[in-house]
Amino acid sequence: MPEATVETRASEATHSGSTQQVDVAVVGAGFAGLYILHRLRKAGFSAVVLEEAGDVGGTWYWNRYPGARCDIQTIDYSYTFDPELDKAWTWSEKYATQPEILRYLGFVADRYDLRRDIRFGTKVKQATWDDASERWLITTDNGANVSCRHYIMATGCLSSPKPPEIDGVKDFKGEVYFTGRWPHEGVNLKGKRVAVIGTGSSGIQSIPLIASEAAQLTVFQRTPNFALPAGNGPQPEDRRTFFETDRAAYREQARWSLAGVPYPQQTVVSWQLSDAERRERFEKAWAAGDLVHILTQLWADQGVDVDGNAILCDLIREKIGEVVKDPETLAALTPQDHPFGSKRPCLDTNYYATYNRPNVTLVNLRQEPIKEITAGGISTDKRSFDVDVIVFATGFDAMTGAILAVHPITGRGGKSLSSVWAHGPQSYLGLTVAGFPNLFMITGPGSPSVLSNMAVSIEQHADWVVDRLIALRDAGFTSMEATETAQAGWAQHMADCSMLTLHRLANTWYTGANVPGKAQGVMPYTGGVGPYRSICNEVVGRGMLGFHLKGPGGAEQCNDGEIVRLQPDVRLVLGMLAEMNLPPIETMGAAGARDFLNEFNKGRPAGRPVGEVGEGMLQGADGPLPYKLYRPATPGPHPIVVYFHGGGWVLGDHESDDPFCRDMCRRTGMIFVSVNYRHAPEHRFPAAPEDGYAATRWISEHAADLGGRPGPVLVAGWSAGANVAAVTCQLARDRGGPQIAGQLLLSPVTDCIFDRPSYVENATGYFLTRGLMYWFWDIYCSPADRTDPRASPIRGKLEGLPPAFVTTAEFDPLRDEGIAYAEALAKAGVPVEQLKARGHFHSSFVMVDVVITGVPGRIKMAEALRRFAGLPAQMDTVRRAPPPEVNAAAS
């Protein structure tokens, strides 16, 4: 049966006295409210939507300023829940205008007969939870109050305009307009002197059209924004063809994508591309006129790394420079203070060219701030501008403004939401708040919302919420509430995710920085639409993890916990590995496992350039060993770090940790020499540590030949390589040198027992498994030899060893033996620093440019190595790529 005909029955609300009784009350009749109402009715709930405006549309009802359009392609900015609806509406343009979008929402309201359950012109004044009846009581400014079991805020993220915050607005004798509350009848600007304050998306869309109508336009700009030409017109052929070929696949790809638009994940990083290749990609993106394309499809590091982003910023600045003629105006319009994408970039039509018009003036508020608004116009601290009209395009109290506009929302125990959020919004999944049972937010703070295609996110939220209400009803529960544990876990996960992006580097409404006095922090979920969807599904799959459910007669269920404890990128990596469904490495045999590792490493991002990379042979314990040398681009001679790769004494070689060595060479400003010690099963214990020791001695003796600083060397290693590094320090102490200035042990193997808690807790599921460790040990070392300190360094004498930095990962079987070694070193009087990496797994820090959250850890490791070498902890050479790398033989 077509979806539209299911809904002919309006929901059955009842009245008791002056109170309307419904199962669910929804605030807002925009994209979200309309769809929720449809879903609620379909599920048999009685519902009412309370809407302040006179009709449906939400943000598209209010934002009627000249030039208002969507800036996600309209093909994507549409409902997808009903394929028939999808076919019944065809957009006329790539980016539809506000009137067309409003018509679409009206069409949807009619098609599903939604208006019957919407109370227009009705503002919510208060909302109070009553624990006894387990219902919300909503008071309104128009008509009956509402009593409901569930209360859903579909209030939008950008619907509460920010007050002007400029002295004297009331004194102004001319006309004042806000882009976010534009008069329905339109505004005649012909022949008038107009001021626009603000150059965000609303300003940038409206300025060209206002300029073409007004006699004189003066734009007051505080922060220049990045804008790219929309290239509006018909729907681009490539997207339309993809869409028309398989609509269901197109929509499904969008649902699991990062931004809610079906683009693939970009894996190529900027330094893998030549200048010409980068320019070609950029020109294509510029011509495409698509924010999601330029934000996600150029190179993988553009959104996560300042260097990768800076390349793009330079290219955009070049484009702006090609258009704007006046050098002073150009300088003012060129964004310099934030990475591209950290502040919401804009799509424009003739924006920059507008400043070449004789009737347009740009006032740079960074140089001459607004002092006041007077009866006749606007004064800066340098000049006065007489105007007839002031347009405030100054934005919104975003994400929390519309929710907190209803005050108070009083939850359990009389707590108000504004007090709970006094230091920033707290939520679980961005959908619910602890202490506020049966209250739901659609695209609330803590959800992908404004960093995504809202249409896709809204449907996901609405489906999740309504599905939960159905499940609650079916199970006989009457309330659900997030637990404090789950909410705190989500805050941690949000913070971890925000470290992945560059949003924290800009003053933006994403962080609350645009509203004076507002608590600051990245408010939207930055982990992406697809990952967010899978997390929401996982909450359900794990028995409503983090929710307290209650029902009549004392029925209760609470499966408490945190839904994501892994770092977000670690979660993605482990998810991808799980999807590959690989056979356990220990079943591959040594040769098979080596082939697998080689193939696996081919798929990783290439390491970053360093000053010079060379290869050579050195003398091991029983013959020559190959090595690879990474030299920094800075002038030498540099201290030398002898590096031992991971691989369980069986796998890997001097090249297998190449990205890590490059990264650490750049971060430390030291030479890294990665040594290919001998491996089992061909060469069992003690070949590896004896080679490690011999190699360190050889490198120390040949430091000057290698271009290094003579004197003590340092050692470093990961996993089994850290075991070799630790043992090398013990052997060097006992065998009369070489001198070692410090040791970096990254997830080291230090002992031959397998019953520490981390071996049990992390036995499987985190790539390095307990089974694999058994296999490594069996191949490497006979049981009788395992207690030898050269195999299990924790069993050796620890006094007199060089200072150590020991890194362990929370989700690693080796975690506890690494911690135990660090503690034992400290007990023996060795200076030790520990990094216990929360949410990380065994390979986190060596997966350079994949596990981005590993960066702060590597910075700490690099600082420790520099201190050990007697250098200042910090160096300033990582942010910019060094000159192209030279390949040279190092010996």
Could you list the residues that contact ligand NAP (CB under 6 A)?
69-71, 158, 165-166, 179, 197-203, 205, 222-223, 344, 365, 393-396, 450, 509, 514
Give which of 111, 37, 113, 31 is closest to 78, Cα–Cα: 31
Give the nearest distance from C-beta 858 to ligand NAP in angstroms. Answer: 33
How far is residue 706's CA from residue 88's CA, in Å, rounded to a whole number? 72
> What are the φ and ψ backbone dihedral angles of 227, each rounded to 5 degrees?
-135, 145
Our CB check for ligand NAP shows the closer of 286 and 754 to be 286
Our CB check for ligand NAP shows the closer of 524 and 857 to be 524
Give the nearest distance from C-beta 420 to ligand NAP in angstroms. Answer: 25
Our CB check for ligand NAP shows the closer of 70 and 292 to be 70
How far is residue 611's CA from residue 271's CA, in Å, rounded to a whole number? 14
> What are the φ and ψ backbone dihedral angles of 802, each rounded to 5 degrees?
-65, 160
CB atoms within 10 A of CB 637: 15
Please give the structure tokens belonging to residue 338. Answer: 């934030």
Give the nearest distance from C-beta 169 to ligand NAP in angstroms. Answer: 10
First-to-last CA distance in the chain?
A: 77
Give which of 126, 752, 816, 83 is closest to 408, Cα–Cα: 126
How far is residue 374's CA from residue 361's CA, in Å, rounded to a whole number? 19
Q: Who contacts 141 (Cβ-Cβ below 8 Å, separation ≥6)?
A: 122, 123, 125
**Could you say which DSSP state residue 587 is in?**
G
Our CB check for ligand NAP shows the closer of 165 and 314 to be 165
Give which of 793, 801, 754 is closest to 774, Cα–Cα: 754
Give the nearest distance from C-beta 178 to ligand NAP in angstroms. Answer: 9
Q: Radius of gyration (Cα) for the chain, nearest Å?
A: 31
Burial of 623 (0-12, 13-18, 19+ CB in 10 A): exposed
Our CB check for ligand NAP shows the closer of 199 and 511 to be 199
Give the nearest distance from C-beta 35 to ligand NAP in angstroms. Answer: 19
Give which of 230, 233, 263 is closest to 91, Cα–Cα: 233
Our CB check for ligand NAP shows the closer of 524 and 712 to be 524
Our CB check for ligand NAP shows the closer of 364 and 483 to be 364
Give the nearest distance from C-beta 344 to ligand NAP in angstroms. Answer: 3
Give the nearest distance from C-beta 362 to ligand NAP in angstroms. Answer: 12
**Helices and strands counted in the chain (H then E):** 27, 31
Give the nearest distance from C-beta 395 to ligand NAP in angstroms. Answer: 3
Tell me which residue has its CB nearest to ligand NAP: 200
Give the nearest distance from C-beta 202 to ligand NAP in angstroms. Answer: 3
How far is residue 523's CA from residue 344's CA, in Å, rounded to a whole number? 13
Q: Are 427 and 441 in contact (CB under 8 A)?
A: yes
Our CB check for ligand NAP shows the closer of 222 and 858 to be 222
Give which of 546, 539, 571, 543 is closest to 487, Cα–Cα: 546
Our CB check for ligand NAP shows the closer of 228 and 439 to be 228
Give the nearest distance from C-beta 69 to ligand NAP in angstroms. Answer: 6
Our CB check for ligand NAP shows the closer of 292 and 393 to be 393
Our CB check for ligand NAP shows the closer of 198 and 262 to be 198
Give which of 755, 787, 777 is closest to 648, Cα–Cα: 777
Give the nearest distance from C-beta 508 to ligand NAP in angstroms. Answer: 7
Q: Are 772 and 585 in contact (CB under 8 A)?
A: yes
| C-alpha distance from residue 194 to each of 170, 188, 215, 353, 673 (Å) | 17, 11, 8, 18, 66
> What are the φ and ψ backbone dihedral angles of 211, each rounded to 5 degrees?
-60, -35
Q: Who contacts 541 (Cβ-Cβ below 8 Å, separation ≥6)?
A: none
Our CB check for ligand NAP shows the closer of 438 and 508 to be 508
- Taking the CA atoms of residue 475, residue 481, residue 483 and residue 486 in that order, the dihedral angle to the nearest 10 degrees is 80
Give the nearest distance from C-beta 424 to ligand NAP in angstroms. Answer: 18
Give the nearest distance from C-beta 221 to ligand NAP in angstroms. Answer: 7
Q: Is the dihedral of CA 694, 698, 703, 709 positive or negative?
A: positive
Give which of 338, 288, 291 is closest to 317, Cα–Cα: 338
CB atoms within 10 A of CB 286: 17
Q: Are 136 and 148 in contact (CB under 8 A)?
A: yes
Give the nearest distance from C-beta 538 to ligand NAP in angstroms. Answer: 29
Give the nearest distance from C-beta 253 to ligand NAP in angstroms. Answer: 22
Our CB check for ligand NAP shows the closer of 72 and 482 to be 72
Give the full edge-to-edge strand order of the sheet including 377-380.
370-373, 377-380, 384-386
Instruction: Give the length of the chain.
Output: 891
Query: What's the CA angle centered on 455, arms 453 and 457, to 5 degrees?
Result: 70
Our CB check for ligand NAP shows the closer of 46 and 394 to be 394
Our CB check for ligand NAP shows the closer of 329 and 656 to be 329
